[in-house]
Amino acid sequence: TEKAATASRIKAAKADCFCHLHPEIIPMLQALKEKKIKIGLISNCYSEEAVLIRESQLFPYFDETCLSYELGMK
């Protein structure tokens, strides 16, 4: 259906954002972790964004996450 195709395109566009990280992001996060600095993420997100965040290469660097969809909040 048209609605499913649109939803698929939106999800693909959001997933694509995680494929184009600035080259200094991962080394910076690694350096922070090596210094024992805690890293948190607070995001106002929808269900598909919460999934993409958890699947992203960034997610393992977060010590705590607060994803609004998962918490049932806006």
Question: pLDDT tens-digit profile of 43-60?
Answer: 998 888 899 999 999 999
User: d(Cα 7, Cα 10) in Å, to the nearest integer?
Assistant: 5
pLDDT at 36: 97
Residue 53 CB partners (closer than 8 Å, separation 6+): 41, 43, 45, 59, 65, 67
Per-residue model confidence as pLDDT tens for the chain (74 residues): 888 888 788 888 888 888 888 999 999 999 999 999 999 999 998 888 899 999 999 999 999 999 999 999 87
